[in-house]
Structure 1
Amino acid sequence: MSRVFTKAARSRQKNAEEEEIEEMEMFGLLGTDHTLKNVARCMRMPYEETTAIERSLFYELLQSRQMTEIFLKIRNTALLVWHMNRQVECTTEDVKNRLETPFKYYAIMIQNIVHYLTRHGIINFGCYHHESHLEYQIPREHQNVLVIGAGAAGIAAATQLSDLGFRPTIFEARQRIGGRVASMWHDGALLEVGCDTLRNLDTSPINTLLCQMDIETTFYMENELIYKDGHRLSEQRKHLFKTLYQNLQGSIDHVAFEKEHRSEDNGMYVSRQQMYENMFNQIERRTLVNFHNHAKESNNLTQRMEMLSKTLETLRTAALRGEEKYKEIPKEDYIQRRSVNLKLKKAMEKFDDAIEEFDALRARLNAHNQMQPSQQYMSPDDFRDFNAHLGLEEYLTGTQLETVQFSSNTRNFLPEGPAASVKQGVGSIFEELAEKCRIPILFKHTITEIDTSGKDSVRVQFETPKGSAAMTFRYVVCTLPLGVLKKTISNDQRAPIFKPPLPPNKVDAIKCLGWGLINKITMGFPDPFWRTFRDEQTQFARIPEITERSYMLSWTSPPNSNSITTYIVAHRTVHDKSENEHVDAAIKCLKEIFPDCPDQPLFSLCTRWHNDPLAFGTGTFMSLRSEPKHFEDISEAIRTKDGLKRLFFAGEHTDATEYGTINGAWLSGVRAAAELANDYLGSGLIDGSDVQIPLADDDFEPTADHYLPKEESFLQPPPELLIPKEEPI
């Protein structure tokens, strides 16, 4: 589909990142190993090794280590070219001009690498200026693709499919774009009902969208302000418990890497809560052992001092008696007087040695008593501070740690550097992207049935404001949330029906993956009494009681806004409380920190994501029954009777590395689009096995015909897919 770009949109935005790139280019730092390594990290690609997908597509990588190094050099350079200017397409010529001899002579490999990176949405994605044409002219009757859902995954799949020559159409049950990303406005105040925080933007594909559309963001450090009982926690105490938490988390990650820990009764994984308790029990046992060892050592030193004291008394008595005896011996008895005198000297020497040892033991005992260990590792008040970090972990996963698999590495979700909020709302990213890419979206189209029993198409039934309808599509990309899929397999009437039923492995994956829940309480006030600086995001944490560690723990407020939001991660019974109960609890928490907080807000909004028939929750997590294979099973496409993949699945619950995040949702949509294109069009790579590339030679001048691929070397799609067939669309 064609796209319209203004001249201003084509020009590079002079942001801080691009200025830094220009400075590096000025000083000759672009293209260095350090720069390429950093760019590869930002693009979520390994710098010094190939991925499994690359090894499956490029057979040259299996020939020699030298070919692998050449491939990595070209691939990393292509990443750099795209990273330098993500508003203009990265073409083969751009990469070739950046490479030096002899790498730039690998024309076919360069073309294949750029094609592969583009096809898989690693480069050339989002809203950018196109400079090349599509390789394949897809027949019109094969272009139409239905994308179910206009969330991050659906928008990603649709934009990517549009770039690849398809004509996607999105069916969205809501009246808006975004799915679980929902930005609302109330009296000029931004209310983020869904996802509101962007973390780890330096490695996020969302950062590319922000740069392309010039969307303004506000960066801030999370949990820099922590309050306890109305008082701000000291930096020393905050650092102490943060370090302790990171050490324990690292220990759990190490244990998870070394060995699986399952229950012998039911075969399920041990929970993170149980592992933290086990770690604490070990620490407490070690603390008690140290305390008893300290007491035992004190007792031993005391006993030795008592024995020395008796020895000193004995030696003193013997010396006094010897002295009296010495006085009684006549002076004429020289030999006896000499014998007694020698005994006295030996007794005094022993006495002096015993005194010296006694003084040393006394000094040692005093020093030992000054290092009196605690009988308890952590007091209840200290544990409350530490427990707040576990609450933040529950906030990241969207559920209580008793239900989270201990091997789930939540460290991947912890922010590295500042977090970011979008001033226009996170939902504006996908709204503007869909508008600029001209993706057709039909709102209020609720899917009721997906039928894959046909020969070469998928039949979809849906409800619209005008009534029921049905259509047939060649391909369908389903981004229904995991919560809806769970309702589907339980035959809930609010969820769509799959015909035939989903395969057993997919059903098992849906059952085993966890589905979290985070609700919000947003309140508006006449004045932002919590704000310290203008034009800055306000975020702080409040340490709750031990029994409710993730209930209203974190608080946020957009810049220059009179509204403030807190989060609820707790047992289901807590989520079912009335809005008034939650508001009263939130006001009580605010008054504890800010005494001038009004008794009632001007307005309040309480989300009910668990009752939303289009979500039934907020995000995926690794439950006690989850396995890595479940992500592969749930993302596996379903084939029709002709044996071809027709129904593809996307959504954050299909991404094994960034599940439960907006990044995972976007990447899953790109992955589904690439899988669909590869299945229909083939890989699209050129066979360059018959081309001989010389080593670096300044005198070598290749001709244009030397590297032209043969016509039959293109991998064509299956012939049966290129034959037009009449079919209702």
Structure 2
Amino acid sequence: MSSEATSSDYVDDELRGEDFGPSIDDNALAAAARQARLPFDRPTEHELAFFPELWEHKTAVEVFLLIRNSTLATWQYNPQKECTASDVRNNIFPPFNSDLDLIQNVVHFLTRHGLINFGRYVRSTRITRFLVRDRRKVIIIGAGAAGISAAIQLISTGFDVTILEGRGRIGGRVHSFKTKSGQVMETGGDTLRKLEDSPMTTLLHQVSLEEHGVYDYTTIYVDGKPLNDDKIHIFLTHYESAKGALNWEAHQREHRDENGLFVSRQRAYENLMNLSERSTLIKYFNHCKSLEEVARAREKHYNQMKNLRNTALMAENRLKKLEEQGLLDNDPIMRRSLKRDVATSIQKFDEVSNAFEAADNHWKLLNEHPQAKQFMHPGSDFNTYNFMLGFEEYLIGAQLEKVQFSCDSAVNKEHGVAARLTEGVAELLLRITQRRNLDIHLNHKVVDIDYSGVDDVKVKVQKKDGEIEELTAAIVISTLPIGVLKKSISGDARAPTFTPPVPAEKAKSIRNMGSGLINKCILEFDKAFWATGSRANNQSTQFVTVSPNIRTRGSLSIWSSTPGSKVLTTYMVGDSCKDSPDDVIIQRALQTLHKVFGNNCPRTPLSAHITRWHEDEFAFGSGSFMSLRTEKSDFDELMKPLKTSDGKNRVYFAGEHTSSSYAATIQGAWMSGARAAADIANDYVGFGFVDMSGTKNVKGEDEEGGDMHIDHDGPLPEGMLADGQQANGGVVNGEIPEAKKAKIDN
């Protein structure tokens, strides 16, 4: 065996496991693809567009999938270290690791689109800057999850990024603070859901934060008393069945009213409930009808048996009488007739007796299993079922009367794997930004975004002291929430303006999108009385109190905390408590707790905080949802960049409201930022390979040599470059090959 083959094609198994990644098998590859939200056994449309050679042969697809899934598995195995082509190559057995160009391109594609090498990790390759200084300046409006994600991705692509944040902190609608006693109060997003396929899972692996599972239906209290597990299971089963039926129906056809608007999910559930009630009444009617028919048949058979018995007895008595009188032999016809009557009656009696026994058993069975006249008891049972709908309102962020009934409105709103963090989700974003040297300007409120120029965008900001400053950049990313965008197009002075105004189609899509609202009532006590005694376990930090009022089913019903915390949070969905004073909300919450925990609950909390996200000028709501007017194309319109007069995309949009699959979630915001960064890189840099040589830099005509940034681990060996590969990532005389210019939406 040659030394060249030994060094490049074969890696010791022990070295593979310790230094480069896991041993790869189909199960590991499938899990890696699933976590990255990609199909394990086929390429996506985006991948087919970027890798046109996959259309040529089935074998090419199989090799590509092996490399892609192995790349994902390698990254997920150790997300604190950059996943490079050499790492992936060492995790793929010969001969599939021979095409370094393909491996490098796959790594580049997944990195570009935020599927690997994102968050907080140590780079081992250099950052290559393809653009001159003025053309690579990007301003990001908003330092929430979307803005941070976009900034990290753009910096890795070679752009100079400045983040403008109107608040005096980062995180956007993810926020927490500590009380005087040191307890953490999370006023914004506090629960990470669907962690089985979320980029937030990777971020949690990159930082050291204590996380706790969220168990939504562990304990349900109705009228102050816990519901037994069997009954909880019945309600959950019925709710899941109802939701599954609606999802199936939504995929069959669209459901719109006479005005062309979508039917609401509330109406869909009511229609389903009406159908269930109607079906129950029909079953009750059929049961009563069957009971009556069986009773009549039973009575008929009984009378027949009675008549047959009487007939047989009369014939026997007549025979005995004739025998006593000595007249049997005198009238043989009469004798035979009477004997025939006896035999026939006995035979028919046996037959009718069997029929009577069957009817009697059927009658008893119907009485032992009566049919309900109502599908659901109108009292506590109906309220408990409605809480399930209230929990769905909590997941979506809006009352179901406002949410459309479609196959997209509730996608990825299932429970999934969920977790809360002891130090809060805001701490996760803060640690991700640490050591990234992000240029974040706090207390810089954007008042105008002017894209009327030829080749740049002017952003006017108001500083904390009231001073107005105008900044210029080649590219701008707006992560303004949907609530702020609605205020902006309506001319509200509290929201930024666009110069010129956004196009009519984008304005229409902004109006069509729903702006959800979830506020919180956060209470701090001297002890965690809800997690004592028999409930002192890891699942005791979440419980439910069913509201007797259907209109408030999603408010002050869901209670959540973290183990060891003395802070208890409850949620208010929609407008139910929007206009209520703080003291009224706190009193209602305490009354609910007293009903469940009695004297164990203190009369007053140590401290309390009520959020008012609908009044926050940097949010005007808590998230987006698909309203009765929202079309699937509205998401595309919301993502669509604004162009300057030179015809180039200059103002890009990110935020959870641009993510059709993960709207109103932290991971949706993070993914949208990565998507916007990929769009910018694709538009302005093209699809060239990353610089894997570690020795060569491509500079623009105005770029200074000191701008190159090389991270800790140094370059790859020269021998890792394939023959004929350009060290500058495929750039020839400053031009990107035409084959790499096809734009792919993430």
The answer to whether the superposition gives a TM-score over 0.5 is yes
CA offsets per residue over residues 65-119 of structure 1, 9 Å max, x none? 2111111111111111111111111111111111112211111111110111111
CA contact (8 A) 1:681 1:716 kept: no
Matching of residues 290-329 of structure 1 within 5 Å: 290-326=283-319, 327-328=321-322
CA drift at 1:523: 1.7
1:216 and 1:302 mapped to 2: Cα distance? Answer: 67
CA contact (8 A) 1:535 1:560 kept: no
CA offsets per residue over residues 144-194 of structure 1, 9 Å max, x none? 110000000001011111111111001100000000001111111101010
**1:356 pairs with 2:350:** no
TM-score using structure 1 length: 0.89
2:169 and 2:636 mapped to 1: Cα distance? Answer: 30
Does the C-alpha gap of structure 1 residues 552 and 311 become closer, same or farther in structure 2, counting only changes over 3 Å?
Answer: same
CA drift at 1:709: 3.0
CA contact (8 A) 2:101 2:722 kept: no
Matching of residues 269-668 of structure 1 within 5 Å: 269-326=262-319, 327-328=321-322, 330-333=327-330, 335-336=332-333, 337-380=335-378, 381-407=380-406, 408=408, 410=410, 412-417=412-417, 419-466=418-465, 467-532=467-532, 533=536, 538-547=541-550, 548-571=552-575, 574-596=577-599, 597-668=601-672
Q: Which residue of 1 aligns with 2:741?
A: none
Does the C-alpha gap of structure 1 residues 343 and 561 become closer, same or farther in structure 2, counting only changes over 3 Å?
Answer: closer
2:299 and 2:720 mapped to 1: Cα distance? Answer: 99
Does the C-alpha gap of structure 1 residues 613 and 475 become closer, same or farther in structure 2, counting only changes over 3 Å?
Answer: same
SS in 1 for 2:356: helix
1:653 and 1:570 mapped to 2: Cα distance? Answer: 17
CA drift at 1:711: 8.4
**1:34 pairs with 2:27:** yes
Which of 134, 143, 148 lines up with 1:150 in the alignment? Answer: 143
SS in 2 for 1:279: helix
1:384 and 1:584 mapped to 2: Cα distance? Answer: 22
Which of 36, 51, 55 lines up with 1:58 in the alignment? Answer: 51
1:557 and 1:445 mapped to 2: Cα distance? Answer: 33
Moved more, 669-678 or 520-529: 520-529
Moved more, 542-551 or 667-676: 542-551
CA contact (8 A) 1:536 1:560 kept: no
SS in 1 for 2:139: strand
| Structure 1: 5+ residue stretches without partners | 1-20, 687-702, 721-729
CA contact (8 A) 2:145 2:666 kept: yes
Does the C-alpha gap of structure 1 residues 133 and 558 become closer, same or farther in structure 2, counting only changes over 3 Å?
Answer: same
SS in 2 for 1:575: coil
CA drift at 1:318: 3.2
Does the C-alpha gap of structure 1 residues 177 and 494 become closer, same or farther in structure 2, counting only changes over 3 Å?
Answer: same
Which of 241, 244, 253 lines up with 1:247 in the alignment? Answer: 241
CA drift at 1:534: 8.0
CA drift at 1:713: 9.2
1:584 and 1:683 mapped to 2: Cα distance? Answer: 59
SS in 1 for 2:434: helix
Q: Which residue of 1 aligns with 2:704?
A: none
Q: Which residue of 1 aligns with 2:724?
A: 708
CA drift at 1:317: 3.8
CA drift at 1:430: 1.7
SS in 2 for 1:594: helix
CA contact (8 A) 1:516 1:619 kept: yes
Which of 70, 84, 91 lines up with 1:91 in the alignment? Answer: 84
2:526 and 2:189 mapped to 1: Cα distance? Answer: 25
CA drift at 1:199: 1.6
Q: Which residue of 1 aligns with 2:96?
A: 103
1:656 and 1:442 mapped to 2: Cα distance? Answer: 30
SS in 1 for 2:370: coil
CA contact (8 A) 2:559 2:568 kept: yes
Q: Which residue of 2 aligns with 1:12?
A: none
CA offsets per residue over residues 23-69 of structure 1, 9 Å max, x none? 9989x983111110011111222111111211111111111221111
Does the C-alpha gap of structure 1 residues 706 and 484 become closer, same or farther in structure 2, counting only changes over 3 Å?
Answer: closer
Q: Which residue of 1 aligns with 2:686?
A: 682
Structure 1 stretches (4+) deviating beyond 4 angstroms?
21-26, 534-537, 703-706, 710-713, 715-720
Counterpart AA for 1:646 = R
1:346 and 1:492 mapped to 2: Cα distance? Answer: 97
Counterpart AA for 1:376 = Q
**1:230 pairs with 2:218:** no
2:670 and 2:354 mapped to 1: Cα distance? Answer: 76
CA contact (8 A) 2:130 2:685 kept: no
2:670 and 2:522 mapped to 1: Cα distance? Answer: 27
| Structure 2: 5+ residue stretches without partners | 1-13, 691-718, 737-746
CA drift at 1:411: 5.7
CA offsets per residue over residues 484-523 of structure 1, 9 Å max, x none? 0001111111111111111122111111111100011112
CA contact (8 A) 1:680 1:717 kept: no
CA drift at 1:334: 5.7
CA contact (8 A) 2:484 2:495 kept: yes
CA contact (8 A) 1:219 1:537 kept: no
CA contact (8 A) 1:637 1:648 kept: yes
Counterpart AA for 1:218 = H
Does the C-alpha gap of structure 1 residues 376 and 430 become closer, same or farther in structure 2, counting only changes over 3 Å?
Answer: same
Counterpart AA for 2:650 = R
1:352 and 1:205 mapped to 2: Cα distance? Answer: 76
Does the C-alpha gap of structure 1 residues 24 and 266 become closer, same or farther in structure 2, counting only changes over 3 Å?
Answer: farther
2:479 and 2:336 mapped to 1: Cα distance? Answer: 107
Moved more, 425-434 or 477-486: 425-434
2:430 and 2:337 mapped to 1: Cα distance? Answer: 110
CA drift at 1:541: 1.1
CA contact (8 A) 2:22 2:77 kept: no
Alignment root-mean-square deviation, CA: 2.4
SS in 2 for 1:147: strand
1:718 and 1:648 mapped to 2: Cα distance? Answer: 25
1:393 and 1:302 mapped to 2: Cα distance? Answer: 46
1:269 and 1:203 mapped to 2: Cα distance? Answer: 29
Percent sequence identity is 39
CA contact (8 A) 2:451 2:499 kept: yes
CA drift at 1:204: 1.5
1:528 and 1:36 mapped to 2: Cα distance? Answer: 43
CA offsets per residue over residues 118-143 of structure 1, 9 Å max, x none? 11111111111111113444322222
Does the C-alpha gap of structure 1 residues 29 and 353 become closer, same or farther in structure 2, counting only changes over 3 Å?
Answer: farther
CA contact (8 A) 2:403 2:409 kept: no
